[in-house]
Each structure stands twice: as structure tokens, then as C-alpha cells.
Amino acid sequence: MQTSSWKFRVSLEMGKIFVEGVGEVQEYVDVCDYAVGLSRMIGGPILPSERPGHALIEQWNPVGLVGIITAFNFPVAVYGWNSAIAMICGNACLWKGAPTTSLTSVAVTKIIAKVLEDNKVPGAICSLVCGGADIGTAMARDERMDLLSFTGSTKVGKQVALMVQERFGRSLLELGGNNAIIVFEDADLNLVIPSALFAAVGTAGQRCTTARRLFLHESIHDEVVAKLAQAYAQVRIGDPWDPDTLYGPLHTKEAVKMFLDAVEQAKQQGGSVVYGGKVINRPGNYVEPTIVTGLPHNAPIVHTETFAPILYVLKFKEEEEVFAWNNEVKQGLSSSIFTKDLGRIFRWLGPKGSDCGIVNVNIPTSGAEIGGAFGGEKHTGGGRESGSDSWKLYMRRSTCTINYSKDLPLAQGIKFQ
């Protein structure tokens, strides 16, 4: 597959650094490999029937047409998750990418169409439509759309869910995240610093899995903040096409304004900017990656998902309180702890631990693998994409009973004579 043009278009339109664009294209390739293997494994169980001479099976069939609406920040990979799984389940796809990354959408669609047609399959199986919110609204309301997969903000996702539910349609929602990393006093700081840096600064803070809250045990708070600020100072900022660049621009001028507004609100609510907080004086939508300390865990700005590289560093004392603080935000996408305590790890994974769809230990909040189902709870929408049994969302289920006897026994032993 010709992937070089994808990578450049991702950097050109989205602003993502080149190596992340390469990673995103690779993710699509990987999910295609995953889907091909999965296509040989999809099936329903044969269940024991309580009636003699009867077979009970579960049959899975394609839903039909899957509408896919994706966001600007992953203009290749998220469509890959959806389209690859949808196709091996027997569905056709109609994709609406973000209007600000339309060149990437066109490039991806042309490559997919060629692959399909080279294999004697109509390229229209993966069709593309470009446009704004009016096109998305039409897709959400169209009863011919058997499943609508939407990736984007919680605000818009709520509107999409209502429109789809109004016609009793099916939706798959992957919405916002206000993700936290929790660092305990026994954590390996050699893991913590690069993990927090990548999770907070990667993609210039424009991932749904970006770390926006960093909870530090009071005994290590000052040390970690100092080391993190030192690491931030070493981030290479520049042209996203330059392979040495680690941090590129925000996507739009509106994102820059949102960044500045959030920094100002953080100051007004009692926070102190210990690193960054300003616009960078160079062409493009560049802002400084930012660290804010001193805010209470329940400050309104801390509970707001700002799609920008702002990390709120918060101090805690006890495990129970910080687990509760992780869960108190409306979103429930990704979460991480850093600790060597085995008991704490399993408490974190258990019912009184993280309430997120992605629950990590000693790794950052971002960088999910395709083999695990991706998605979250609460205002993140509850959807799951890519791995595990997420294929079931792209299919409809029938429970089938076959009577191969000459009798007609009823379930539950009912007699009707």
C-alpha cells in the first residue's frame, strides 16, 4: 500500500508531527491484519436446549450500512478501526471525516478503493462524503444508516445519540476524556517522567487519551514537578515535517484561543503556571506546553476537557481519596497509576478502583493497542472500537431454535393441549 502520501497529509492538515503520522498509518495497517485474522473467528455459540430434539444456536449477521464520523486528531487510524472491522463483518461503510482534514480523507479513500477493486470488490463499499455538521446530522437521522459510529466531543456526541435514538437506530460513541495519571510514593520516577511527558504533550495535547490531570503523592510532589518542568524544557518544538520535532502546532486558531482561556481560568481559580502558558511567537498555531499546580481537585477548569497541552498537577495524601478524585469527572476514558504495590494495583483494577474503560498500571494514559477494546464510560459514551469483542457492535444477533424432531415440546415444560 502507498502510505507516504497519507503521512504527509496528516502533518499538513492536522499538524501532527511526522513520526506520529507514521504511527497512525501503521495503526491502520495493523488493524487490517487484525481484522483479517478475526474474520476467520467470528461465530456464535451452540447452546444446550432444554427441549429434546432441538438445537439452539446464536447467529450473527451484518447490520448493513455503517456510518463513520471521525474527528480531526486521528484522521486515518480511527476510520481504520471502524472500517476494517465493519468490512470483515460484511458491512458497507460511509465515512465523513473532519472538514479540516478532507485531503487526508480523500487520499485514504482512494487507496482503499484501489485495493478493493484490485481484488474484484466494488470500491464503493467504502464510500466517502465530505462536509460539515449538516452532513453529520443527515447521517444521524437517516434510517438507512444501520449503525452510526461517532468520534468527537461529548457535546456533539450527545446530540448525535439523541438523533439516532429518536429513530431507534444504533450508535457507537467514542467521546471526550479527562484522563488522570496517579503517582504514588513508591513509583519508579524513571517511568513516570517520560510517561507523563508523552501523555500530556504528545499530539500537542489533542488526543482523547491525553493526560490532563496528574495526581502526585505529597511526599514526591515537588520533586516530580521539578523534573517534569526540566523535561518540558527539552521538548523540541518545530515544523511537524521535521523528523527531529517532538511537538507541533495546535490544529486551529480557535484551539489557541481555547488554550489561552483555560490558562486564564486556571489562574483565576487559584492555579500557578510553573511552565509554559503562552503563545509561541512563530508562524502557525503554536503554544507552549503548560504545567499548572496549586489547583484543588474539584476546580471547574480541572473538570473541563481542554483539547490543548495543559497538565494540572494535583497533590494527594491517601489512596482512597485519589481513586475517588480520578472518578469524579464526568468522562471515563483512560486512567493510569504508577506504583509497585501489588495489592494497590488490584484495588485499582477492581470495583472500587478506576471507573474508566482503559485502566493502566505503570504506563501512560495514551498509546492503546489495537487488540484491546478502545472506549470509555459515562460521558465518554460507552462505545468500544477495534479489539476484543467490539466486532459484535457491527453485527446483529439472532437466537435461532431448530426443531429436528417429530414432537413439539414447549419451553419451561408448558403443556398446551
Buried-state track 351-389, b at ≥16 Cβ within 10 A, e below 16: eebbbbbbbbeebbbbebebeebbbbbbbbbbbbbbbee
- Percent of the chain whose predicted confidence (pLDDT) is above 70: 98
Whether 220 contacts 182, CB under 8 Å: no
Active-site entry in 174, 288, 305, 319: 174
Q: What is the pLDDT of residue 368?
A: 84
**CA–CA distance, 217 with 187 (Å, rounded to integer):** 10
Statement: residue 3 has pLDDT above 70:
no
Across residues 125-138, what is the average pLDDT? Answer: 97
Examine the pLDDT at 413 and tell me if it is beyond 90: no
- C-alpha cell belonging to residue 67: 456510518
What domains appear along the chain, each with residue ranges and CATH number? 4-175+381-402 (3.40.605.10), 179-361 (3.40.309.10)
Active site residue 174: yes
- Percentage with pLDDT > 90 across the chain: 92
Nearest by Cα to 351 from 315, 377, 331, 382: 377
Cβ-defined contacts of 228-236 (< 8 Å, 24+): 228/193, 228/196, 228/197, 228/275, 228/291, 228/313, 229/274, 229/275, 229/291, 231/193, 231/194, 231/197, 232/197, 232/201, 232/275, 232/276, 232/289, 232/291, 233/275, 235/197, 235/201, 235/289
The stretch 122-136 carries a mean pLDDT of: 97
User: Do residues 293 and 302 make contact, with C-beta atoms less than 8 angstroms apart?
Assistant: no
Q: Indicate whether this model's pTM tops 0.85.
A: yes
Average pLDDT, the chain: 95
What's the confidence (pLDDT) of residue 202?
Answer: 96
pLDDT tens digit sequence for 298-320? 999 999 999 999 999 999 999 99
pLDDT band for position 366 (50/70/90)? very high
Return the pLDDT at 127: 98
- 8 Å CB contact between 156 and 176: no
Answer for the pair 262, 306: CB distance below 8 angstroms, yes or no: yes
> Quick one: pLDDT band at residue 1, thresholds 50, 70, 90?
very low
